[in-house]
Structures are given as C-alpha cells and as structure tokens.
C-alpha cells in the first residue's frame, strides 16, 4: 500500500470521515467549525488536495458530493508512526520510549498500559 502523508489539518478531516462517513462539505464544515474555525472554502481546498493524494474519494449524492475515506485508519496511522520513528528516532521504538522515560513523561497508567501491550505482543508470538 502506498504511504500517504497527511498534514495536521488533513488528519482533522480524516478523523471525522473515519468516525462516520460519508459526509458532505457542509457536514464537514459544521463538524470542524468549532475546533478549527475553517470555512467551507478551506474544507473544499483541503478535500481537493486529499483527493489528489488518494486519501479521500467521493460519490455524487442527490444534492451534494458524499466524501469517504479512501484509506484505512490503521494503515494510515501505521505509516505515519513509522515515518515519525524514522525521522525523529532513526527508526528506534526503544529510543523513543527511553526518551519518554528519561524525561519522566510517562504516568503509572501509561507504563501499565505499555506492559500490557508488550505482554500481549509476546503471547501473540507464541
């Protein structure tokens, strides 16, 4: 699958579409108005870029285009995570976690969650 890079704003739109698609431009504008303040024209511009990237698709509706995500959330998140790790930590998940630990950035709950994730991953390998 081709890796698609999304801007922060495009992530906002994708999250709305992944939550409940399809959405019209008017529905997207209403859903994002409070958190972003974007106008309809901003949404239209961003959807055009996202369509060119292959992130969204649309179908002609009765009155308006219906927009859908053209990529899966899990695949897109994985690609973004791998890109971030490569760019910032030379691909090392251990280095990233160690950096968070050294800066006391992890709560007890987050550490417990990491242990649970690692235990499950270990069980899945068996």
What pLDDT does 103 receive? 86
Series of mean pLDDT values for 10-residue runs along the chain (126 residues): 86 97 97 96 97 96 94 93 93 91 88 93 91
CATH T-level fold of 1-90: Arc Repressor Mutant, subunit A (1.10.10)
What pLDDT does 24 receive? 97
Rounded-to-integer distance, Cα 43 and Cα 10, Å: 9
- Tokens 């994708």 -> residue: 14
Torsion angle of the four alpha carbons 105, 73, 15, 55, in this order, in degrees rounded to the nearest 10: 130
Rounded-to-integer distance, Cα 84 and Cα 12, Å: 18
Asked if omega into 78 is within 30° of 0 (cis), the reply is: no
């Amino acid at each position: 699958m081709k890796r698609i890079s999304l801007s922060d704003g495009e992530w906002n739109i994708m999250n709305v579409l992944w939550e409940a698609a399809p959405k019209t431009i008017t529905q997207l504008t209403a859903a994002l108005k409070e958190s972003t303040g974007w106008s309809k024209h901003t949404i239209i511009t961003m959807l055009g870029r996202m369509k060119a990237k292959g992130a969204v698709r649309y179908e002609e509706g009765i009155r308006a285009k219906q927009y859908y995500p053209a990529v899966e959330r899990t695949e897109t998140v994985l690609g973004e995570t791998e890109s971030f790790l490569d760019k910032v930590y030379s691909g090392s998940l251990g280095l990233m976690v160690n950096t968070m630990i050294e800066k006391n950035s992890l709560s007890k709950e987050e550490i417990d969650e990491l242990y649970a994730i690692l235990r499950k991953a270990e069980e899945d390998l068996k």
